[in-house]
Amino acid sequence: MGPHIVSAFDSDLQLLNRKIAEMGGLAEEQLSSALKAIAQRDVELAAEVVKGDKKLDEMEMEIEEAAIRTLALRQPVATDLRDTVAALKVASTLERIGDLSKSIARVADILSQHRPLLVVAPVVRMGRQVLGQLSEVLDAYTSRDTPLAVSVWRRDVEVDVTYNSLFREILTYMMEDPRTIGVCSQLMFVAKNLERIGDHSTFIAEMTYYIVEGEQLGDDRPKGDPIDADIAVDMPD
Amino acid sequence: MTVAEDLGGDAPAETGAVARIPSASARTAPELKMTARSCDVFYGDNHAIKNVDVDILDNTVTAFIGPSGCGKSTFLRCLNRMNDTIDICRVTGELTLDGEDIYDAKVDPVQLRARVGMVFQKPNPFPKSIYDNVAYGPRIHGLVRNKADLDDVVEQSLRRASLWGEVSDRLDQPGTGLSGGQQQRLCIARAIATAPEVLLMDEPCSALDPIATARVEELIHELRENYSIVIVTHSMQQAARVSQKTAFFHLGHLVEYDDTTKIFTNPHDKRTQDYITGRIG
């Protein structure tokens, strides 16, 4: 697509996209550090993640201001309008991903006060899977690559499957050694937060599709089975 | 007490032009009001409009947008045969109003223009009083039977054009003495005094300030209840605000015609996209 006749309009849109790319990079880094913090029981790194979340909050506000200014001054239509609205929504999605990463990092404190647990490894593995999804979807968003976005969107079902099996694994761990119930329930929150980040990544995929195609991606995303209600039945007497 | 009762005679339904306006309640799915099929317009050797097909719906505002010289005004003027006055202009193809060919030899262009009214870019009131400006059409078309009916038509037309409150105490003053925005609303009152079925507006707000523009836009919104309106505008925001259907013209071609929402959120054609987003095509 050609440049705008008013070149300042192009600069405005480019600025928005650059800021989103920057914020996306930071959100990836936050998640990656949070995972490292729980894997290595690194309290200092966890504290850095908690501190770093403020930067994401600031960036969200900057993008919001820039987008609102563009809406007010340029009255964008068609693809420009979709670009601007998507930037607003993606910025707030990235901010939420940041919040979830912060919660994950905080669990490192609890883990560090406990003897090392084998079950942390599969949680971190799930985290890497989610991080991969997030990186890919951010690439898709930046390059407006619809096929890549749709592929990430479809693969979220794999994250759901991992989450369900991880849930069972942690539960088994708790049943085997009730002393780990406290710390394991924290790990369950971590798994849940990772699953939420996966969902947010699919939202960014949907926004990518919306910008390029001008239509919503639809509601028929493949989803994993809900966690079975029969789990409680397996509990020993 | 209405004028009719005052005269002790006519039933309100027969009071003339204004009473013929169909009620707004008839609005369900808009019906086809005018159509153009394979329409071509030539100014001498210049092929100004190329094979245009378009439907103008009843109770709908249709906006024609496009860069200068794209033919949107030329095409608008075909809809009430205003191009007849230009010697070198030749119109081919089929244009209908309620299914009847408007270029048929039997059609009187003057009668046609009473049914398809027009408002121009520059306010052009006659050098007559405010009253006479509005009364002119109903008089020459013989739409009223007596002075009381005429008074009624003038008042109602001015009210509909939301000008009555500003001029009711000086109807005998010259129309040219009004402000630009008032003059344009006077021209709209004059255009609707003959109770047209279709109202063509060629950039009606380009000479007006934002407040007068907002008034005219509000008026267009109200008039849609009773008329089919076609508006040519250079302001894309205006097209987006007032119309339900938008047609994009480019180099004499009708590039895209669709719901206004669709045109402004997700246009189909790249040329439309480039134009509405302000890109170099």
Domain map (residue ranges) of chain B: 34-276
What's chain B's length in residues?
Answer: 281
- Separation in Å, CA of B264 to nearest CA in chain A: 5
Closest Cα in chain A to B240:
A77
Task: Say what the pLDDT of residue A225 is.
Answer: 67
The verdict on a CB contact (< 8 Å) between A77 and B274 is: no
Q: Is the pLDDT of residue A233 over 90?
A: no
- Separation in Å, CA of B47 to nearest CA in chain A: 28
Task: Say what the pLDDT of residue B8 is.
Answer: 39
- Tokens, residue A57: 């909050």
- Tokens, residue B79: 């809809």
Task: Say what the pLDDT of residue A187 is.
Answer: 96
Closest Cα in chain A to B237:
A75
Percentage above 90 pLDDT, chain A: 84
CA distance A237 to B83: 94
- Asked if residues B114 and B141 have their Cβ atoms less than 8 Å apart, the reply is yes
pLDDT in tens, B20-76: 444 444 445 778 999 999 999 999 999 999 999 999 999 999 999 999 989 999 999
Select the residue of A1, A4, A81 nearest B265 (Cβ to Cβ).
A81
- Asked if residues A38 and A108 have their Cβ atoms less than 8 Å apart, the reply is yes
Task: Say what the pLDDT of residue A103 is.
Answer: 97
- Asked if residues A149 and A210 have their Cβ atoms less than 8 Å apart, the reply is no
The verdict on a CB contact (< 8 Å) between B281 and A77 is: no
CA distance B152 to B148: 6
- Separation in Å, CA of A75 to nearest CA in chain B: 8
| Residue carrying the six token digits 């997700």 | B266
- Which residues 6+ apart lie within 8 Å of A26 measured at CB? A52, A55, A56, A59, A98
Q: In angstroms, what CA-CA distances link B15 with A14, A123, B10, B136?
A: 62, 83, 7, 17
- Which residues 6+ apart lie within 8 Å of B202 measured at CB? B73, B76, B77, B118, B119, B120, B121, B232
Closest Cα in chain B to A215:
B266
Q: Is the pLDDT of residue B269 over 80?
A: yes
Which residue would you say has higher pLDDT here, B211 or B253? Answer: B253
Confidence class of residue A226 from pLDDT cuts 50, 70 and 90?
low
- Tokens, residue A168: 């069972």
Q: In angstroms, what CA-CA distances link A65 with A68, A69, A88, B276?
A: 5, 6, 9, 24
- Separation in Å, CA of A130 to nearest CA in chain B: 32
Element (H, E) at A210: helix A181-213
CATH number attached to the domain at B34-276: 3.40.50.300
Closest Cα in chain B to A82:
B265
Q: Which of B266, B269, B270, B275 to mutate to test the interface with A (most CBs of A within 10 A)?
A: B266
Chain B residues inside the 8 Å CB shell of A75: 237
> Complex ipTM, two decimals?
0.71
Q: Is the pLDDT of residue B128 over 50?
A: yes
Closest Cα in chain A to B271:
A1
Q: Is the pLDDT of residue B114 over 50?
A: yes
The verdict on a CB contact (< 8 Å) between A5 and B237 is: no
pLDDT in tens, A117-165: 999 999 999 999 999 999 999 999 999 999 999 999 999 999 999 999 9
Task: Say what the pLDDT of residue A228 is.
Answer: 56
Q: Of B87, B144, B121, B263, nearest to B201 (Cα)? A: B121
Task: Say what the pLDDT of residue A171 is.
Answer: 94
User: What is residue A215's DSSP assignment?
Assistant: S
Task: Say what the pLDDT of residue A235 is.
Answer: 47
CA distance B31 to A91: 45
Select the residue of A4, A82, A215 nearest B278 (Cβ to Cβ).
A4
The verdict on a CB contact (< 8 Å) between B276 and A76 is: no
- Asked if residues B237 and A75 have their Cβ atoms less than 8 Å apart, the reply is yes
- Tokens, residue B247: 């047609």
Q: What is the mean pLDDT of residues B68-91?
A: 92
- Separation in Å, CA of A215 to nearest CA in chain B: 8
Which residue would you say has higher pLDDT here, B8 or A153? Answer: A153
Percent helix, strand and coil across chain B, each to the nearest 5: 40, 25, 35
Q: Is the pLDDT of residue B177 over 90?
A: yes
CA distance A108 to A191: 14
Q: Is the pLDDT of residue B196 over 70?
A: yes
CATH assignment of A7-234, among 3.40.50.2000, 1.20.58.220, 3.10.300.10, 3.65.10.10: 1.20.58.220
| Residue carrying the six token digits 């794999």 | A158
Exposed e or buried b per residue across B15-40, where buried means at least 16 C-beta atoms within 10 angstroms of its C-beta: bbbbbebeeeeeeeebeebbbbeebb
pLDDT in tens, A33-72: 999 999 999 999 999 999 999 999 999 999 999 999 999 9
Instruction: Give CA angle at A27 (A25, A28), nearest 5°.
Output: 65
Q: What is the mean pLDDT of residues A75-92?
A: 94
- According to DSSP, the residues that pair with B94 across neighbouring strands are B37
User: What is residue B82's DSSP assignment?
Assistant: G
Q: Is the pLDDT of residue B10 over 70?
A: no
Q: Of B63, B34, B93, B49, nearest to B250 (Cα)? A: B49
The verdict on a CB contact (< 8 Å) between B277 and A4 is: yes
